[in-house]
Amino acid sequence: MALTSKKQKKPLKKASTSKKLTSGKKYVYYFGDGKAEGTAQMKDLLGGKGAGLAEMTNLGIPVPSGFTITTEACREYFSLGKKFPDRMWEEVLNNLKNVEKSMNSEFGNPENPLLISVRSGAKFSMPGMMDTVLNLGLNDETLKGLIKKTKNEKFAYDTYRRFITMFGSIVTNIDRKKFEDLLEEAKKAKDVQLDTELDAKDFKTLVKKYKELYKKETGTNFPSDPYEQLRMAIKAVFDSWYGDRAATYRRLHGIPDDLGTACNIVAMVFGNMGENSGTGVGFTRDPSTGEKKFFAEFLVNAQGEDVVSGIRTPLKIEELKRRMPKIYSQLEKICNKLEKHYKDMLDIEFTIQEGKLYMLQTRVGKRTAAAAIKIAVDMVNEKLIDKKIALLRIEPEQLNQLLHPTIDLKAEVKVIAKGLPASPGAAVGRVVFSAQDAEEWVEKGERVILVRNETSPEDIGGMAVAQGILTARGGMTSHAAVVGRGMGKCCVVGCGEITIREEEKCFTAGEITVKEGDYITLNGTTGEVILGQAPLVMPKLSKEFYTIMQWTDELSKLKVRANADTPKDARVARDFGASGIGLCRTEHMFFDPDRIRAFREMILSDNIDQRKKALDKIKPYQKKDFIGIFKEMKGLPVTIRLLDPPLHEFLPKTDEEIEILSNEMGVSIRRIKSKIKALEEFNPMLGHRGCRLGVTYPEIYEMQVRAIMEAACELAKKKIKVIPEIMIPLVAHVNELKLMKELTVKTSEDVMKQYRIKVEYKVGTMIELARAAITADQIATEAEFFSFGTNDLTQSVFGLSRDDAGKFLPFYIDNKIIEDDPFITIDTEGVGQIMEIGVKKGRKTNKNLKVGICGEHGGDPKSIEFCHKINLNYVSCSPYRVPIAKLAAAHANLKGKGAEVIKSTV
């Protein structure tokens, strides 16, 4: 007994595990006749297309019956070494039976054949996945049934030749052109233009030729068994997941490699059955403007991708309204229903078979930034969504599209070549041919366009400083294109019409030669290369744009200020809704030739009297700028940083410059040179700069404070509100700040006494050295505000020189040693942690401490999210990024509060 029971146990156990393995899994989900096993939420398992088909079916929208093989089946197929998982095929056959019942026909039945389409569909729609095979199930026998059923021989043979073309080219990789050439021959022989002008006999001949071609190319007969066709097509769908194009696309878009694709099998409906049939694609609203208007194109007597393939020019949807008004209004109703249900703009694909409408696909539609904004605002007004969801629907970075200048359409321009429009916007600059030249020219104050055959990671520095990038080679996913888009930089790639002669530093476009230093203009939206400087215009922002900006104010905690050094920048910032200036760099006010002279005099002074005299010359300039900025900011706070860079940066560099200065100042060349030598530093970044200058030359800071406060007092007298915030840079020790604060307060009080008026002002400091962050509790006793200077902080915490990192940092990022460039996105684990310490310690001793950030990171959405998390009061970024930062600040506040859950269901 014992023995037998033992014997029995083993096989039993085996059976039960294998049963468990299979019974728990369901590889196939059916949809048809108003009921589907899947839903829109099941995108992971059914892919986007499958989930959409299921949802539409459940909504009672007419969809031909079919089923979806899951992404899980695809993943198992690969882990089994490209074999269908157990039972999958069985489930496919069972579901095929259901489709047969629903469609009242039979797969492979020569009397009454069911035809199907086989369609790939991953979670994210992805170019590179297998194209759809239509009309599967046809062979010489079932063809007869199709003819009998439809009494339309031309249609049947057209369908058959389409099937062989698609199967041959998509499943077995025969060059599609070989099929098309045969088709062209047939049209030529008959002297007709359109495929539809061929007759049954022509198609019949083509089918024969196609089969011969198939045999020649593959060495086997065209598979006549429909089940064999189906098996091959499903395998091809799965295999396409790891195809080169799909893999590249995933890498570029950060889509994981292990998701797999679903495979959809759908009963065929035929748009190629004559004049009351057709096929089309569209959007529920205009995807480029967002206008609430059904936007679609269609073709009569056509099938599948005829509309997008360009073989015939599709008709506007208004034409459908004229020809088939009933169908049109049904389509409109379906669009409304879908929008109400998904609460978003959708794209759709449909087919009309002999006056009956079928929907074949829907998904959330891609749109431009302008459309995204309009649709979001409209849908709030239509009470489809609330403001929170509206904001979350718009990607902050996407706004970049709207904030770039564009070429004035009214201007006449000379287009000399055209490439691929890789990154939108427009750029004007002088041509340079190497990244190094780009950097050198920009240093000298030039605007440049970097022109290369193609770019590589070593060119990053030059790309970053150029206005735009033009390459002769490479496609939309080339290095230049990807990096250009990432930087939000106008970029035209693959411009084969230009020939670059690097040796001679010129390029030619047809007859025209463009030399180094010549001006060109790029149009990144059209790919055009224009000779000379085309006039640019700032795009007009819609009223919906301003509505969105207003909502970001209501729904964010973080405020957004701008980094602005001139009244002009200040105005841009205010127009975009900045709530103040977070960083005004006073040294930028000296780049003007007149001003730099006075400044050099100051640096070269031998004694304090001389220096004060020079400073007196500078003060009026500073004061004038401050007045301009204060006026533009209309009572919003303005943080002004006192002089930060080492003095030698302002000195003349070339012999020629030194000679001019020597003449102007009546100081010998030798003396100037020896002064320059004396100011030279081994490590200027860590040298005599920031408040160290103020500590050793207090008269410089005193002059600056005077200029600020005089400007403020003058305006206050005219009843213009001003809030100056004076910021001391590069403080490491509380005593430095203490000294500089005393100087600032004393000078300010002096000025106010002199003007007999009180102005509210603040004194604070930048936190950009680790020591300052770690001793923030001490520093905060002297500071009314902190502003994290994360450029320097990253350099000092990371021990990484921003100016030298280009040699190795790209390697680090490419090889995933670090995830992001720490100068673009805050290194939260290191630099970020130091910031967090600074915030906490600072607020411990000064609970009213205002804390902001003014490094480049202040405009980076990921970094903004971090700033929100550590409770900063504001971020400050370049004026043109203010809208992006405002939206990112709102996102940071809304994320994790349930709003995005709704977003992810569609």
Which helix (DSSP H) or strand (DSSP E) does residue 422 occupy?
strand 420-423
State yes or no: residue 113 binds ligand ADP (CB under 6 A): no
Among 305, 319, 332, 784, binds ligand ADP (CB under 6 A): 305
C-beta of residue 842 within 8 angstroms of C-beta of residue 784 = no
Read off φ and ψ for residue 562, nearest 5 degrees: -125, 150
Helix or strand or coil: residue 136? strand
State yes or no: residue 272 binds ligand ADP (CB under 6 A): no
Nearest approach, Cβ of residue 344 and ligand ADP (Å): 18
State yes or no: residue 351 binds ligand ADP (CB under 6 A): yes
Helix or strand or coil: residue 722? coil
Share of the chain residues as helix, strand and coil, in percent rounded to the nearest 5: 50, 15, 30
For the record, the structure tokens of 323 come out as 């020809």
Which helix (DSSP H) or strand (DSSP E) does residue 9 occupy?
helix 2-23
Q: What is the CA radius of gyration of the chain?
A: 34
**Location of structure tokens 């910031």:** 835
Which helix (DSSP H) or strand (DSSP E) does residue 726 occupy?
strand 723-728
Amino acid, res. 560: V
Restricted to residues 276-295, the positions that interact with ligand ADP (CB under 6 A) are 279
Nearest approach, Cβ of residue 280 and ligand ADP (Å): 8
Q: Of the listed pieces 11-19, 250-258, 266-274, 787-795, which binds ligand ADP according to CB under 6 A?
A: 266-274
Q: Of the listed pieces 36-44, 181-189, 322-330, 349-357, which binds Mg ion according to CB under 5 A?
A: 349-357
Nearest approach, Cβ of residue 298 and Mg ion (Å): 14
Q: Write out the DSSP string of 681-745.
A: -S-GGGSS-THHHHHH-HHHHHHHHHHHHHHHHHHHHTT---EEEEEE-S--SHHHHHHHHHHHH
C-beta of residue 335 within 8 angstroms of C-beta of residue 294 = yes
Is 713 among the residues known to form the active site? no
Q: Which does 380 bind (CB under 5 to 8 A by kind): Mg ion, ligand ADP, none?
A: none
Q: Which does 416 bind (CB under 5 to 8 A by kind): ligand ADP, Mg ion, none?
A: none
Among 202, 344, 349, 644, binds Mg ion (CB under 5 A): 349
Nearest to 286, CA basis, from 340, 346, 362, 338: 346
**For residues 155 and 880, which CB has a smaller minimum distance to ligand ADP in the complex?**
155
C-beta of residue 560 within 8 angstroms of C-beta of residue 580 = no
Nearest to 557, CA basis, from 765, 858, 865: 865
Nearest approach, Cβ of residue 296 and ligand ADP (Å): 12
Nearest to 765, CA basis, from 838, 704, 871: 838
State yes or no: residue 159 binds ligand ADP (CB under 6 A): no
Q: Which does 64 bind (CB under 5 to 8 A by kind): Mg ion, ligand ADP, none?
A: ligand ADP
State yes or no: residue 53 binds ligand ADP (CB under 6 A): no
Q: Which does 563 bind (CB under 5 to 8 A by kind): Mg ion, ligand ADP, none?
A: none
Beta-carbon contacts of 901 under 8 Å, excluding residues fewer than 6 positions away, are none
Q: Which does 495 bind (CB under 5 to 8 A by kind): Mg ion, ligand ADP, none?
A: none
How many residues of this chain bind ligand ADP (CB under 6 A)? 16
Q: Of the listed pieces 106-114, 264-272, 519-527, 702-710, which binds ligand ADP according to CB under 6 A?
A: 264-272
Distance CA 747, CA 761 (A): 12
Nearest approach, Cβ of residue 170 and ligand ADP (Å): 11
State yes or no: residue 217 binds ligand ADP (CB under 6 A): no
Query: Taking CB under 5 A as the rule, which mask of x and - marks residues 96-135 in contact with Mg ion?
Result: -----------------------------------x----
Among 64, 468, 838, 858, binds ligand ADP (CB under 6 A): 64
Read off φ and ψ for residue 819, nearest 5 degrees: -80, -50
Q: How many CA atoms lie within 13 A of 345 on its CB side?
A: 31
State yes or no: residue 360 binds ligand ADP (CB under 6 A): yes
For the record, the structure tokens of 711 come out as 């400007």
Distance CA 732, CA 704 (A): 21
Please list the alpha-helical segments (H only) found in 255-324.
306-309, 317-323
Q: Which does 351 bind (CB under 5 to 8 A by kind): Mg ion, ligand ADP, none?
A: ligand ADP
Nearest approach, Cβ of residue 448 and ligand ADP (Å): 41
Among 266, 642, 712, 728, binds ligand ADP (CB under 6 A): 266
Bridge partners, 451 (sequence order) = 470
**For residues 125 and 526, which CB has a smaller minimum distance to Mg ion in the complex?**
125
For the record, the structure tokens of 354 come out as 């002999």
Restricted to residues 354-373, the positions that interact with Mg ion (CB under 5 A) are 361
CA distances in angstroms from 89 to 96, 118, 230, listed in the order given: 10, 15, 10
**For residues 351 and 873, which CB has a smaller minimum distance to ligand ADP in the complex?**
351
Query: Taking CB under 6 A as the rule, which mask of x and - marks residues 115-154 in contact with ligand ADP?
Result: --x-x------------x-x--------------------
Nearest approach, Cβ of residue 179 and Mg ion (Å): 17
State yes or no: residue 50 binds ligand ADP (CB under 6 A): no
**For residues 132 and 828, which CB has a smaller minimum distance to Mg ion in the complex?**
132
For the record, the structure tokens of 474 come out as 């490479």
Amino acid, res. 84: F
Query: Which candidate in 263, 404, 479, 491 is catalytic?
Result: 479
For the record, the structure tokens of 328 come out as 């049109």
Query: Which candidate in 854, 868, 877, 891 is catalytic?
Result: 854
Among 158, 195, 349, 437, binds ligand ADP (CB under 6 A): 349
Nearest approach, Cβ of residue 302 and ligand ADP (Å): 9
CA distances in angstroms from 523 to 407, 410, 431, 488, listed in the order given: 7, 14, 15, 13
Amino acid, res. 138: L
C-beta of residue 126 within 8 angstroms of C-beta of residue 238 = no
Read off φ and ψ for residue 874, nearest 5 degrees: -155, 160
Amino acid, res. 733: H
Nearest approach, Cβ of residue 31 and ligand ADP (Å): 12
Nearest to 600, CA basis, from 608, 609, 611: 611
CA distances in angstroms from 133 to 57, 137, 164, 298, listed in the order given: 22, 11, 9, 20
**For residues 117 and 873, which CB has a smaller minimum distance to Mg ion in the complex?**
117
**For residues 174 and 267, which CB has a smaller minimum distance to ligand ADP in the complex?**
267
**For residues 331 and 643, which CB has a smaller minimum distance to ligand ADP in the complex?**
331
Query: Taking CB under 6 A as the rule, which mask of x and - marks residues 820-849 in contact with ligand ADP?
Result: ------------------------------
By beta carbon distance, the residue nearest Mg ion is: 361
State yes or no: residue 362 binds ligand ADP (CB under 6 A): no
Is 891 among the residues known to form the active site? no
Nearest approach, Cβ of residue 190 and ligand ADP (Å): 27
Distance CA 47, CA 241 (A): 12
Nearest approach, Cβ of residue 365 and ligand ADP (Å): 13
C-beta of residue 390 within 8 angstroms of C-beta of residue 900 = no
Nearest approach, Cβ of residue 849 and Mg ion (Å): 56
Query: Taking CB under 6 A as the rule, which mask of x and - marks residues 223-262 in contact with ligand ADP?
Result: ----------------------------------------
**Binding residues vs Mg ion (CB under 5 A):** 131, 349, 361
Known catalytic residues are: 479, 854
**Binding residues vs ligand ADP (CB under 6 A):** 64, 117, 119, 132, 134, 266-269, 279, 304-305, 349, 351, 360-361
